[in-house]
Structure 1
Amino acid sequence: MKLDEALCRALKSRPRLVVLSGAGMSAESGVPIFRGAGGLWEGFRPEDLATPEAFATNPQRVWRWYQWRGQKVSEAQPHKGHQWLARLESEAHLPSFHVVTQNVDRMHQRAGNNGVIELHGNIMTARCTLHCGFTMPSADVPKEDFSCPCGKGMLRPEVVWFGEGLPEEAFSKAGQVLDEASMVWVLGTSSVVYPAAALPGMAAQRGIPVVEINPEETPLSSQVPYSFRCLASEGIEALCQQIMGKENSL
């Protein structure tokens, strides 16, 4: 991965950095991807399970899928890319640093990042369908009785399902930190899931340096000044070493 002089100067200038991460970031840790060839579970597509309608029809099946996913996440470990981002936050002393993720596995937090903005929620927590305020760990949800203690709603994963809007607070915060950013990294995202996919393009239109790291070309690749074909962990290491010094290693 070869970085040109302009990008190296920008990285060494202590940017106000926002990191946007997607499924490819977690896939390196062994977390099953949501879509694509590996997306089927017991013959079902994720699009057939991650909907309010699917939950209303068969909550047991939906919960079994999420508990399977939760087990896979628990077995996975943050990779060196996650670890570099945690070090960047704690040691580089940038003017501002924020991670905005589409992932629901909390891998960034496990690596040590704080204040992660979760656009699609997280699978480790269950909440009431009626937003009564009750939450509990997903792993503790009974296997048959999904009734919320409030007596009115049901317990469901605290994630964004197909057909649902993003959490207003999280999306508003993401827009705010992007407005204040002087550089954006886009890591392992297909750039096809909206509205999150629109965020880096909006930053690029304002002239903010946007760096995309992805093994494959995406719809974003032609819109940003820097796009590299490599794994997220490899790209993150190269970028972080420009900020923190090449003598730094994990």
Structure 2
Amino acid sequence: MTLKYKNIVVLTGAGISADSGISTFRGQDGLWENHRIQDVASPEGFAENPELVLSFYNLRREQLLDSELKPNPGHYALAEVELACLAAGGQFTLISQNVDNLHQRAGSQRLISMHGQLQSALCPASGQAIDWTGPLNLGDKCNCCQPSNQLRPDIVWFGEVPYYMGECMEALENADLFVAIGTSGQVYPAAGFVDAANAAGARTVELNLEKTSHDFDEAIEGSAAEVVPDFFENLLA
């Protein structure tokens, strides 16, 4: 198979997970489960009320254990195009703002989780992350420090720098196709990804419920579970 594009970079946001039933936990009033974002998604909130923050993320982690929760066709389409791209000698990078495990379950390998992962716990002192699938509670401490530290969710909170930004920007600088899926792209640094891709001369495409930016070469409206498979099927064809 010959691919028109040799270096594909994809950014996914909450829209692709929402099609699998992942709750965003954020209401129209901007509150997360009736809490201010600063209270449950910031280092300051964790320092002030760690039990509240741990409980909030325990609910989100528990949702991933629901037997009814599965990757949707959008997730599987990305895993398939990754295989096709690599088999054809190209490069593929999937950057996700989501903290669930649906991309991994669908088979994606070249995945950058820029905002961390729910099923991971972090030592705030050493920065060491460990797998954590059950509840994370007060008293759960790291094994890497003496004295040991209270573990926190391995999530990038407001005011913190997303993970692997160097790798993200390197991929974008070499991209010839950039596709943003299910994300408004209004929050930096992800908001600057389309600019970096445009500067590299890449074709830029937005797949979303509605068009959010004029910076893309093309916008295709619809749910991720529907438009992502169609878009990449046409690309491979």
Given the two structures, how large is their TM-score scaled by the length of structure 2?
Answer: 0.88
Shift of 1:132: 5.4
| Count of residue pairs the alignment pairs up | 230
Q: Deviations over 1:153-183 (max 9, x none)?
A: 220011100111122xx11001111111110
State whether residues 12 and 242 of structure 1, in contact with CA within 8 Å, keep that contact through their aligned partners in structure 2. Answer: no
Please give the alpha-carbon distance, in whole angstroms, between the structure 2 residues aligned to 1:183 and 1:217: 18
Q: Does 1:87 align with 2:90?
A: no
Q: Does 1:99 align with 2:99?
A: no
Q: Deviations over 1:211-243 (max 9, x none)?
A: 10111221xx21111011111222211221123
Residue 196 of structure 1 corresponds to 190
Alignment of 1:54-203 (within 5 A): 54-75=45-66, 76-92=69-85, 93-94=87-88, 95-131=90-126, 133=128, 135-139=130-134, 141=136, 143-149=137-143, 150=145, 151-167=147-163, 170-203=164-197
Residue 6 of structure 1 corresponds to none
Shift of 1:186: 0.5
Q: Deviations over 1:44-76 (max 9, x none)?
A: 133421111111111111111101001123322
Structure number with the higher helix fraction is 1
**Root-mean-square deviation (CA), in Å?**
2.1
State whether residues 142 and 149 of structure 2, in contact with CA within 8 Å, keep that contact through their aligned partners in structure 1. Answer: yes
SS in 2 for 1:122: strand
Q: Does 1:207 align with 2:197?
A: no
Please give the alpha-carbon distance, in whole angstroms, between the structure 2 residues aligned to 1:65 and 1:190: 24
State whether residues 92 and 110 of structure 2, in contact with CA within 8 Å, keep that contact through their aligned partners in structure 1. Answer: no
State whether residues 119 and 166 of structure 1, in contact with CA within 8 Å, keep that contact through their aligned partners in structure 2. Answer: yes
Q: Deviations over 1:100-158 (max 9, x none)?
A: 111111211110000301111111100111125352414153x3313333324220011
Please give the alpha-carbon distance, in whole angstroms, between the structure 2 residues aligned to 1:190 and 1:34: 17
Gaps of 5+ in 1: 1-10, 246-250
**Of 17, 26, 29, which aligns to 2:17?**
26
Please give the alpha-carbon distance, in whole angstroms, between the structure 2 residues aligned to 1:19 and 1:66: 26
